[in-house]
Amino acid sequence: MADPLLRVENLVRRFGGIAATDHLSLDVASGELHAIIGPNGAGKTTLISQLTGQLQPNSGAIRFAGRDITRLPAWRRSALGLARSFQITSLLSEFTALDNVALAVQAHDGHSFYFWGDARREKHLRDKALAALTRVGLERRAGVVVSRLSHGEQRELELAVALATSPKLLLLDEPMAGLGSTESARMIKLLQELRREVTIVLVEHDMDAVFALADRITVLVYGRVIASDTPAAIRGNEEVKRAYLGDQHVVTSNG
Amino acid sequence: MLLVVEQFLNGLQFGLLLFLLAAGLTLVFGIMDFVNLAHGSLYMMGAYFTATFVAWTGSFVVGVLLALGATLLLGIVLEFVALRHLYGRDHLDHVLATFGLILFFNDAVRLIWGPAGLALPLPAWLTVPIQIMPGVFYPSYRLAIIVVSLLVAIFLYVMVMRTRLGMLIRAGASNREMIGALGINIKLLYTLVFGLAAALAGLAGLMQAPILTVQIGMGENILILAFVIIVIGGIGSIRGAFLAAIFVGMIDTLGRAFLPDLLRRVLSSATASTAAPALSSMLIYLVMAIVLVLRPEGLFPANRR
Amino acid sequence: MSASFNARNAVAALVVAGLVLLPLYTSLSGNVFALTLFTRIVIFALAAVSLNLIMGYGGMMSFGHAAYLGIGGYAVGILAFEGTGSGFIQWPVALAASALFALVIGALSLRTRGVYFIMITLAFAQMAYYVASGLARYGGDDGLTIYKRSDFGGLINLSNRVQFYYLCLGCLLGGIYLVWRIVNSRFGMVVQGLRSNEARMQAIGFPATRYRLVCFVIAGTLCGLAGALLANNTDFVSPAVMYWTRSGDLMVMVILGGMGSLFGPVIGAVVYLVLEEFLSQLTEYWALIMGPLLLLIVLFGRGGIVGLLGRLDRG
């Protein structure tokens, strides 16, 4: 079997006395959609932040495409092909939708120490950005300032920004959070298309979405992996049921 | 040897004085998340009040007490009239508004007391040198500054570590909701904290007054030293402010005292006497730069409780 | 940059037209004082424009910007004192020295954020002030008189009031044009993105600090130019130009005019310095009025004068 695209080995991250990530190991194979689920406070976002470099682990290693990236800063990981969406929408709020995506394209188009030409007139930046916007169905909203987009549109824009960096691996932190049912359905449809093009790690509370989309599911509880398997096997896993189902009610009402 | 002991004590005394100033700044920042550039003006006002009240009453002690009360009151009025409306605003707004206050206070002092500085004579009982070691005498007034500042430092330490108010301070700016949840009158608390900080600045100013002249702008240079202390010590941390203040006071004093001699041993005396003043005034900034390179969050950051 | 007519653009155009035509007015009316005042204003406007690049567009709240006024000024002053009168040497040295200082200060200060950044830039500028005060050979506290303005061969005569005014104005307009190009360039997009959301920019692949640092150096260099002009204008340079209240003045100009707007700092500089001039003729204690005025502006005026005009446009 080929090496996994992403390999996490014995990752530990403590906050004070609490281990938010507790000797966590995980493999994500190239081409799969790998969902990570777990009750609130299981350390899902903490894990994502360590994967993308916003947060440094205390120990352990992260390998991406055969390379140790544990100590690389966020921007270098992005250059290697790791993209993330944020759980709480985190865009450049006073820029337009198109500007947001165009900056992501620009970030992967050589350095940006160009001081003279008008960046908004660089056709290939704009074209690529518009293509990414079209991919998520936002092309009509390209000229709108982010703070005036609806919540659902902002979630889609998050995705477009991540896509615009042509990532090898897409880390999606609760892309469905706060979406209505129509918007959720659109997002699921979109992810179903995207999974054919790019490896995806999906952190999500919406169980219907997770079981509909995932090739494999990893279950986190208190920063530990308690199971990592196919959706069918996870559904039948007793330990998962015990650890998780007690919390199920809370989870679905959140999602 | 004599000189070393004396300069060492001078450094300690200066450091403690700086602590009084930095503690107020860091308290106000830690609790109200407010940057107060006009803190140096309160220091200056403390000195002017003292000079005035001592002259009026003819008693050093009464004058000092009145001046302390006056600075406290001034701080409370300032907070009540203007600054409380700026909590929760951008730090830049704080900087601008308090910059305006500095301009105001400097000209107000010039208008009331005139452009020339004032002298604050010490009473006879504070001018007696005290023998601290066999053959080593030290001015009793400077010794008094050390004692008073240490007492204040202990008071602050106990307040921060042992009282409910202290708990709030240690909880820091990020937990402002919690303060409300504890059922404390926040507005009153903020006003009192600001008043306390003002009084501390005033105390520092009035204690320094007899050593230097009381003059316009006296609070500005020392305020910047207080900033350096906060950067080195870590923002919002009383302990950090204390250690960093002693550190900065020592380095500044000892640097000014001994650097010229040290340089003269290495360089020609002409070069040394040109370089020494510039270098000794740069010294603490160099230290700050080194701290920044090694520990950008300061040596004793508050969130590592 | 839409060409549409609105109050904001109208005021900017009016200010520029006024500045361009000013020497005409002064020669007709014989009011030499106005030319002297406005030469000073134009120079400070250039400094404010440079500060706006980092503060308004880059979100870097530097409280030490006056340091470059001093460094640019001392470069000219010291070279003149040591017998190098050519502006072709003095000015490049002034710019290079400012750039170098900005590089070192920026590399250290940009390790921190927020209030720390404000305090550290303030402290480093104050360090420059003390160093200048310690330069006994060059006048120390008392400063250094420049007996001959920078010599640019037959190209331009800096001792001619009108020529010098237009040189300053040319530098200002050039500076604004430069900032305009930068702001809309790739580099400018990155810097503004960093102001808006640093974590996001890092996540899409931008190394934040090096872009910020380059921006910081550009702004410092531009302000060094203002420093060279200022020294020539006053025929004098002293540590006082670096004193922290000068940095505060520059910040006030930028905020008063409107942060992150192209002409805001110019309008801010004109208003602030004219007001200062007016008040100081009114009373010796002008800061008694100016200080509380600043407080009121902070309390009630949002987005500066340009922001006010913008609200006017929207009805």
- Where exactly are the structural domains of chain B? 2-217
B247, two tokens: 């550190």
Closest CA to A213 of A203, A227, A223: A203
- Amino acid (one-letter) located at C66: A
Per-residue b or e along B54-86, where b marks 16 or more CB atoms closer than 10 Å to that residue's CB: beeeeebeebbebbbebbbebbbebbeebbebb
255 residues of chain A, pLDDT tens digit each: 568 999 999 999 998 778 899 999 999 999 999 999 988 888 898 999 999 998 999 999 999 998 999 999 999 999 999 999 988 878 999 999 999 999 999 999 999 999 999 999 999 999 999 999 999 999 999 999 999 999 999 999 999 999 999 999 999 999 988 888 898 999 999 999 999 999 999 999 888 889 999 999 999 988 999 999 999 999 888 888 887 665 544 444 333
Q: Which of C123, C245, C251 sits opposite B285 (nearest CB)?
A: C123
- Amino acid (one-letter) located at B215: Q
Share of chain C above pLDDT 70, in %: 98
Distance CA C141, CA C150 (A): 23
Do residues C252 and C52 touch, judged by C-beta distance below 8 A? no
Show Cβ contacts of residue B219 under 8 Å, excluding neighbours closer than 6 positions: B39, B40, B41, B42, B43, B44, B201, B205
Phi and psi at residue A30, to the nearest 5°? -65, 135
Taking CA atoms, what residue in C is nearest to B293?
Answer: C108
Taking CA atoms, what residue in C is nearest to A86?
Answer: C200
Strand-strand pairing, A33-37 and A199-203: parallel
Strand-strand pairing, A169-173 and A199-203: parallel
Distance CA A160, CA A146 (A): 13
**A15 forms bridges with which residues in the sheet?**
A18
- Amino acid (one-letter) located at C193: G
Is the CB of B227 less than 8 angstroms away from the CB of C63? no
Q: Where are the domains of chain A?
A: 1-81+169-255, 91-166
Do residues A25 and A11 touch, judged by C-beta distance below 8 A? yes
Distance from CA of C59 to the nearest CA of A (A): 13
Mean pLDDT of the C264-278 span: 94
305 residues of chain B, pLDDT tens digit each: 678 888 999 999 999 999 999 999 988 888 888 999 999 999 999 999 999 999 999 999 999 999 999 999 999 999 999 898 998 888 888 999 999 999 999 999 999 999 998 988 888 888 888 888 888 888 899 999 999 999 999 999 888 888 877 776 666 544 555 556 666 677 888 898 899 999 999 999 999 999 888 999 899 889 989 999 988 888 777 888 999 999 999 999 998 888 888 888 887 777 777 777 778 778 888 888 888 888 887 787 655 43
Is the CB of C251 less than 8 angstroms away from the CB of B96? yes
Interface of C with B (CB under 8 A): 61, 63, 108-109, 111-112, 114-116, 118-120, 122-124, 126-127, 130-131, 133-137, 244-245, 248, 251-252, 255, 285-288, 290-295, 297-299
Taking CA atoms, what residue in C is nearest to A77?
Answer: C205
How many CB atoms are closer than 10 A to CB A71? 11
Maximal C-alpha separation, chain B: 67
Is the CB of C244 less than 8 angstroms away from the CB of B111? no
ipTM of predicted complex: 0.89
Is A249's Cβ below 8 Å from some Cβ in C? Answer: no
To 10 degrees, the CA torsion angle through C44, C47, C53, C58? -100
Q: What confidence score (pLDDT) does residue A245 get? A: 60
Burial of C3 (0-12, 13-18, 19+ CB in 10 A): exposed
Do residues C272 and C280 touch, judged by C-beta distance below 8 A? no
Q: Where are the domains of chain C?
A: 22-254
User: Edge-to-edge strands of the sheet including A59-64?
Assistant: A18-28, A6-15, A59-64, A67-68
* Residues in C touching B296 (Cβ below 8 Å): 111-112
Q: pTM (2 decimals)?
A: 0.92
Domain at A1-81+169-255, CATH homologous superfamily: P-loop containing nucleotide triphosphate hydrolases (3.40.50.300)
Taking CA atoms, what residue in C is nearest to B101?
Answer: C291
